Amino acid sequence: MQSSLEIRDVRKTYGPVHALHPTNLTIRAGEFLTLLGPSGSGKTTLLMAIAGFVEPSGGRMLLGGRDITALPPEKRNFGVVFQGYALFPHLTVWENVYFPLRARGMGRGEARPKVEAALDLIELGHVAGRKPSELSGGQQQRVALARALVFEPAMLLLDEPLSALDKALRKTLQAELKTIHRRIGTTFLYVTHDQEEALSMSDRVAILRDGRIQQIDSPTDLYERPRTKFVAGFLGRSNFLKGKVTGRQDGRLLLDSPYGRLEVATEEQLPAGRQVTLGLRPERIRLCRAVAADATNVVAGRVADVSYLGPVAEVEVETAGGRLGVTTLTDAGAPPVTGDVWLQWEAASAVLLQEQSNLPDGHR
């Protein structure tokens, strides 16, 4: 049975350095939550505070309502997997996976079915007798996973577990981790700096920057509705368009901008004259030879550069407001777009961004 973990105002300072500003977060029972952020943004600090290896400078952590802030790591019953495999080199795979059960005082007889089930889960039953040095990197990481899961932890914490592996192997293990998560229903807290990895695996992603959570949402919401310039730029590519509010009409803000008159669908009520920044994904812009007379968000431009990437082409278009990046699906047989073009997008395709995250630290 999994419980939710409530993180309340947890912070960590090292002298003058705020590794983690006061952070609030509820990790839901059974979810796959990823902490994503650039190097130094506080991901490991938060994960290690949860694991009990880093003592918070303040705040509390409640697991299913029970305060675990002062509990030593071994009493929290969390499984932990790091980037390095940290397997015991002198022990066989079987003994490595048995180790946490032995540490809990469980005899071999009682442990056998659990160790075997854990080895089955990662499909490595056939190498149970080998030493870690006789395994590939991917196999070693799967053994580390089995060892972290064998005692049925209250939660599994993974800190960049795949970053030492090559890209193809990483993809395979991402898929395996997702399958394992679905099968066993254990709460996963996953740390990575790899955007694609976070988007493809997680139920929710928390984006960290400089020791603060910027936004927590589902992968789709984070990508489609980023709240800040940082989130929009950190997850994929985005165009940023500056404009000034002129009014409101039919659920849309009307803007004046160097690109011309723009409309953006939003609930936000902003006064006329307010300067705003829009985020617009390159793949949400249509590149056309002609546009309908009643179309909104129409910008004239001239193709400056085309990068052919196979399934898509990235097109740089010079406009009166500056360059805009457009991603288009390629079409076998169609000549590359050149010369004068029209750009057009739906009012719902752009998002209104804030310069800074204005989430209070109490945001969940």
Q: What is the C-alpha to C-alpha distance for residues 70 and 72, in angstroms, rounded to an integer?
A: 7
Question: Counting contacts by CB under 6 A, is residue 133 touching ligand ADP?
Answer: no
Question: Counting contacts by CB under 6 A, is residue 42 touching ligand ADP?
Answer: yes
Of 2, 41, 297, 357, the residue at the interface with ligand ADP (CB under 6 A) is 41
Angle separating helix axes 93-103 and 137-149, nearest 10 degrees? 20
Of 28, 40, 117, 137, the residue at the interface with ligand ADP (CB under 6 A) is 40
Rounded least distance, CB 264 to ligand ADP, Å:
33
For ligand ADP, the closer of residues 9 and 176 by Cβ is 9
297: tokens are 């968000």
Question: Counting contacts by CB under 5 A, is residue 41 touching Mg ion?
Answer: no
DSSP string, 121-165: HTT-GGGTTS-GGGS-HHHHHHHHHHHHHTT--SEEEEESTTTTS
Question: Counting contacts by CB under 5 A, is residue 266 touching Mg ion?
Answer: no
Of 44, 238, 239, 327, the residue at the interface with Mg ion (CB under 5 A) is 44
Question: Counting contacts by CB under 6 A, is residue 358 touching ligand ADP?
Answer: no
Q: Which of 249, 248, 231 lies closest to 240 in space, CA to CA? A: 231
Sole window of 43-51, 108-116, 146-154, 321-329 interacting with Mg ion (rule: CB under 5 A): 43-51
* Strand 204-209 versus strand 322-329 pairing type: unpaired
- Give the residue at shortest CB distance from Mg ion: 44
For ligand ADP, the closer of residues 206 and 298 by Cβ is 206
Which neighbouring-strand residues pair with 188?
32, 156
The entry of ligand ADP, Mg ion, none that residue 42 binds, CB within 5 to 8 Å by partner kind: ligand ADP
Which neighbouring-strand residues pair with 308?
313
Of 43, 170, 212, 227, the residue at the interface with ligand ADP (CB under 6 A) is 43
Question: Counting contacts by CB under 5 A, is residue 202 touching Mg ion?
Answer: no
For ligand ADP, the closer of residues 43 and 284 by Cβ is 43
Rounded least distance, CB 5 to ligand ADP, Å:
18
Per-residue binder mask for ligand ADP (CB under 6 A), 9-28, x = binder:
-----x--x-x---------
CB 201 within 8 Å of CB 34 = yes
Provide the H-helix boundaries in the chain. 43-51, 73-76, 93-103, 108-121, 137-149, 167-184, 195-201, 219-224, 229-234
Question: Counting contacts by CB under 5 A, is residue 141 touching Mg ion?
Answer: no
Question: Counting contacts by CB under 6 A, is residue 37 touching ligand ADP?
Answer: yes
Q: Residue type for 74, please?
A: E
Q: What is the C-alpha to C-alpha distance for residues 116 and 125, in angstroms, rounded to an integer?
A: 7
Q: Give ∠ CA 154-81-71 in degrees, rounded to 5.
A: 45
Question: Counting contacts by CB under 6 A, is residue 45 touching ligand ADP?
Answer: yes
* Strand 5-14 versus strand 58-63 pairing type: antiparallel
Site of interaction with ligand ADP (CB under 6 A): 14, 17, 19, 37, 39-45
Site of interaction with Mg ion (CB under 5 A): 44
